[in-house]
Every structure is written in C-alpha cells, then in structure tokens.
Amino acid sequence: MIENSADVVWHWVDEFSDLEKGKLKAWLIPTLEATQKTLGTFPFDVHLHMHRKEKAKEPVPWANTWRYPHQSIHFHVDPSYKLEAFLNDWTAPHEMSHLALPHLGEDHAWFAEGFASFMQAQVMRTMGIYTDEDVKNKYVSKVTKAMPLLDSPSPPAELFRELRKQHEYPAFYWGGATYFMRLHEMLKEKGSSGLPELVQRYMECCRKGSRRLSDVLASWDRLLDSTACQSIFNEYSEQPCRNVVSKALADTY
C-alpha cells in the first residue's frame, strides 16, 4: 500500500494495523523533521518502505538507503516495541542523514557512513535525546573504542576499506566519522555553528546537482571560500591513520 503525506511517500510493504502505522509515523515524521532542521530541507520526496520483522532483538534490526528510482529508506521493524524505544534508536537519524549526500560509490563508502554516523548524533541532539555534552562524549567514546583497529600506519581511506572487508563495522563507521569531527571543530573555531550549518547551505544550493564525492567537496569548499574540505580529505588518503584519528580526538576533547 502506498500513501502520500507532505513530502513523504509511505510504502507499507507488509501488513501493519492502523495502530501500528500511527506509532511508526509518530517515530519517523518527527525524526525526519529533526533531520531536515539539522541538515536542511531535502529537495525531493522521501520514500519510506516499511517491512515487518517480528520477534526482533531491537525495534529496528535492519534498515538501508536506496537511491533508485527514488530517494528511499527501507526500514525493517518490530512494531511490538514502544514508541520510546523507536525514538531512542539511532537507525532512522543515521539513514535519513545519508540522503543529505548523493550515493558516493564503494570506494568512498567510509565517507558516506562516517557522515551518517557523525550526523545521527547531531539529529538526536535536535530531537532532544542528546545534550551537547552527550554528543561529544559519544564521538570520543566510539572512536576511542575503535582505536586498536585504527592505530595503523596505513592511510585511513585504505585502512577503512580493509576494515569493511573484515566486517569490522564499528571501526569502519567511526573511523570515517573522524573526518567530520575534524571539519566540525575547524568550522566552530572560525565562528560557525559547525558542520550542520555548512550542510544546510549545501542542501539549498547544490545537493541536487551533486553526483560524486568530488562535487560535494568542491561545493563545500566553494561555500566556505576555502580549500579545507579537500585538504582534510587528502590527509585521509595520504597520512597514517593513527595520526589523523588522534588529531580528530584531540580537536574534539
């Protein structure tokens, strides 16, 4: 069943009762609103595909983002969980954050997942689930926990691809997030409110025209009248992972 409502297209792939649909909408509509308040208004409709997954160990055991034929997210959910459990789950803020960037391809999956991991905490702060201090502590604790796998002389982009092949997903995701931790702190030092402000400007001017990572970085640097975004990215292609990750932690503390 397909249902439209204010820039959201609902695809009820499996059967849900009216009560269950109401609960899932009470979760996803405010989460989408918080995502767009944080990152800017999406210049397209968002298609939400709802799949039923009963007897799961968590409210959202699986979700992923599709880019064709629409900008879509597929949520596999156990509707027996309470609304509060859904609202406190990071999955929807993470997947919705993905839509702020175009599909970047396999080689740059670390950048896409790092962005969504960084931004999920920003969205949850907008929702009132996290405080500013909670967000900072989340970044530091996640990266610190992953440090044994990130303490490497290999360049981050190369190491992250290997971590993904080895299914070391927390280190892969949060290693990638350190790029955005670096950029966020740099922007705040220059008087901005941080990376979400830049992404809001990008969403308004450039999101629909972006197709590749190079487009994203060029747009961000143009908006900043800077070369910082590309320069930090170059560090992730060239410098030892242990060095760039340690710098991100030091900047964030």
At residue 15, does pLDDT exceed 70?
Answer: yes
* Residue 6 reports pLDDT greater than 80: no
The backbone torsions φ and ψ at residue 8, rounded to the nearest 5 degrees and listed phi first, read -120, 135
What CATH number did the domain enclosing 51 receive? 3.30.2010
Q: Among 98, 116, 142, give the residue marking a domain's end.
A: 98
Mean local confidence (pLDDT), 104-111:
96
Q: In angstroms, how far is CA 49 from the centroid of its own chain?
A: 18
Same domain, 47 and 88: yes
Claim to verify: residue 163 and residue 67 sit in the same structural domain? no
Domain closes at, from 67, 98, 129 = 98
Q: What is the pLDDT of residues 190-231, one digit of tens each?
A: 999 999 999 999 999 999 999 999 999 999 999 999 999 999
> Are 59 and 78 part of one and the same domain?
yes
Same domain? For 139 and 200 the reply is yes
Q: What is the per-residue pLDDT for 4?
A: 58
Of the two residues 26 and 252, the one the predictor is more confident about is 26
Residue 2: pLDDT band by 50, 70, 90 thresholds?
low
Domain limits for position 145? 106-252
Q: What is the pLDDT of residues 37-47, one digit of tens each?
A: 999 999 999 99
Q: Is it the case that residue 72 has pLDDT exceeding 90?
A: yes
The predicted model gives 14-27 an average pLDDT of 98
CA dihedral 212, 65, 238, 243 (to 10 degrees): 140
Q: Sorting pLDDT into bands at 50, 70 and 90, what band is 115? A: very high
**Do residues 202 and 42 lie in contact, with contact meaning Cβ atoms separated by under 8 Å?**
no
Domain count, the chain: 2
Helices 109-126 and 169-189: angle between axes, nearest 10 degrees:
60
Could you give the percent of the chain with pLDDT greater than 90?
Answer: 96
Same domain, 94 and 120: no
pLDDT digits (tens, 9 = 90+) for 240-252: 999 999 999 999 8
Q: Tell me what pLDDT residue 5 has.
A: 57
- Which DSSP letter does residue 50 get? E
Alpha carbons 221 and 230: distance in angstroms, whole number: 7
**Within this chain, do residues 146 and 84 fall inside the same structural domain, yes or no?**
no
Domain identity same for 190 and 137: yes
Tell me what the mean pLDDT of segment 93-119 comes to.
97
Same domain, 89 and 110: no
Summary mean pLDDT of the chain: 96
Q: What is the DSSP string of 136-153?
A: HHHHHHHHHHHHHHH--S
Verify that 137 and 216 share a domain, yes or no: yes
What's residue 253's pLDDT? 79
16 against 251, higher pLDDT = 16
> Where a domain ends, among 98, 114, 149?
98
Instruction: Name the one residue in this structure whose structure tokens are 């030892």.
Output: 240
> Strands, DSSP E only, in 121-221?
none
Is residue 135 located within the same domain as residue 162?
Answer: yes
Residues 114 and 65 in one domain: no
Q: Are residues 211 and 246 in the same domain?
A: yes
pLDDT in tens, 168-199: 999 999 999 999 999 999 999 999 999 999 99
- Sequence-ordered alpha helix ranges (H) in 56-108: 83-87, 91-98
